[in-house]
Amino acid sequence: MATLPARALAELPVHHPCAGCSVRDTAVCGVLQCDDLAEFKNGGTTQRLEAGQPLFHEGDPATQVYNVTEGALKLTKLLPDGRRQVLGFILPGDFLGISLGGEHAYGAEALQRTRMCRFPRARFADFAETHPQLEREVYKLAAHELAAAQAQMLLLGRKSALERVASFLLDIERRQRKANAAPGTEVDLPMSRSEIADYLGLTKETVSRVFAELKSRQLIRLVTLNRVALVDREGLFDLAEGYAEA
């Protein structure tokens, strides 16, 4: 669920199975050298999903792990009253599927056409044991996920609606920029306003109102319904961190 820092990597040979991967710099497997990376890639398969198609459901056996290379997914949790809570969004370069138990604690569903590398969980664990650099990267990933969960608690517990949406846009922009998934300061939003609202603990109407407010403050520009240009990134940052009036 987290994206690791970019790395300076050697160019792969044209015939390498990962030569065309656009997220190698940020994916968890980017620490592997050419031959090890080929062995790792050949130990898995490629999986594709269409928008709305589930990758797995909450409670399903956690037998696979995934490197997302294109598209986006949402993570959801079923509440006791039947409602679904959006826990987060998976973007290109993110790693998914590690579980402490034998079952998935949440569900994952494609927001748009999505492609990923899929590996059997047991085979991934065996490979990581013999490749300490990958094992360390998974540990870093877990630390990033913990930090992200703590940031989400702060966002939901203390920030205003304007601060929440500004923080969300900056986070998506940062993650997409690292994965080269969006041009310049434009942010691709494959999720709906309702899904953003659910994730941020707001209503759909409040999210729409905040987008209009950010636009009127000339902090963002709505390129399309699902693409936003961050016109004043510094101003958004000040707002997200509580330095500006919300």
* Amino acid (1-letter code) at residue 77: K
Cβ contacts of 205 within 8 Å, gap of 6 or more: none
CB atoms < 10 A from the CB of 153, how many?
A: 10
Burial class (CB in 10 A: 0-12, 13-18, 19+), 46: exposed
Given a cut of 60, whether residue 6 has pLDDT beyond it is no
Q: What is the pLDDT of residues 91-122, one digit of tens each?
A: 999 999 887 788 999 999 999 999 999 999 99
Q: Going along the chain, which residue ranges are E strands?
A: 45-49, 54-56, 64-70, 73-78, 84-90, 95-96, 107-110, 114-120, 186-188, 220-224, 227-230
First to last CA, the chain: 29
Q: What is the pLDDT of residues 32-67, one digit of tens each?
A: 989 999 999 999 999 999 999 999 999 999 999 999
Q: What is the pLDDT of residues 160-213, one digit of tens each?
A: 999 999 999 999 998 888 776 555 678 999 999 999 999 999 999 999 999 999
CA distances from residue 2 to 16, 97, 101, 121 in whole angstroms, order as listed: 26, 12, 19, 18
Comparing CA positions, the residue from 137, 120, 132, 125 lying closest to residue 27 is: 137
Q: What is the pTM of this model?
A: 0.88
Task: Return contacts of 154-160, CB within 8 angstroms, 24+ apart.
Answer: 155/200, 156/200, 156/201, 159/240, 159/242, 160/246
